[in-house]
Amino acid sequence: VRLAEALQVLDSDRYPSKKQAKKAIKYGSIVVDGERGTHDTLVFNSSRVAVQGRTSEAFGMAAFRRDGGELPFTIKVLYQDNCMAAVHKPPGVNSHPPSTASGPESFNSMSVAVPYFVAPAEGHGTEVNPWRPGPVHRLDKATEGVQLIAKTRQARRALMLQFQERQVAKRYIAVVEGRVREREGVIDIDIGDKPSHTRFRVLGTTPSSASRTDSCLTTLELFPKQGRTHQLRIHCKEHFGMPIVGDNRYGGLDLGCGLLLAAVDIKVA
């Protein structure tokens, strides 16, 4: 029999209708004898049918509602175990879909895409147990870099508690326009009437004819204690008087390469 019909017989609770069975097949959730099942796959008495987590290929199909659609973006997995993962968030991608997003636009977010690239924890992330991996913290849409992913509810609670209690060490690299005179220091500028502290260190300067200040660019290492919205972008603008390169919102120099701010390292207990 065809796979959709077989699913209704094998697990009528999970697939009470052919429509639900076909949806699972379309999104790459069903494996038959070690290979991804299709609508044309035939199931025999000797066949082994299994449910798997979501796949990057299925992400492209889900996002564009058709086979063969190019992926909106890809996610590089830097580390993962059975509880959590660390991934690289590309620039231009939301951590979560905007409330106004719909259709393919809603797929331009990490929370939607992550389950297609990160392996679920054992017993999680499949149709048997629908809890899926998701981001624990946000990065600005324009910012790229390391983002932590929780694979279980327990891991999410533990990681979020560390963020709330400021136990997570975060390191960013940014490039600002001009020459920063201080070699290192701490920026204390409230954001939204809330205390906001960022430690910084100068890594070096680079000559640049495009720079409107000092004919150079400065590369900084930034260590935010909190995670206020646009904290690093505001602190660079207000403390140094130098916006991060590519930061159109705060008057940064546009070199045509996007926002030069990246989350490069994150440490949890």
Nearest to 269 by CA among 189, 187, 155, 176: 155
Nearest to 51 by CA among 69, 32, 76, 66: 32
Q: Say which residues have a Cβ less than 8 Å from residue 3's Cβ, sequence separation at least 6.
A: 21, 25, 30, 32, 37, 38, 39, 41, 42, 43, 49
Active-site residue, from 140, 188, 193, 214: 140
Residue 174, classed as helix, strand or coil, is strand
Tokens 């020459």, residue located: 179
Give me the half-sphere count of Cα atoms (radius 13 Å) on the Cβ side of residue 14: 21
Give me the helices (H) in 65-186, please: 110-117, 153-164
Angle, alpha carbons 21-17-48 (nearest 5°): 40
Q: Say which residues have a Cβ less than 8 Å from residue 63's Cβ, sequence separation at least 6.
A: 69, 71, 72, 104, 107
Residue 2, strand partner residues: 42
140 is known as an active-site residue = yes
Residues that are catalytic: 140
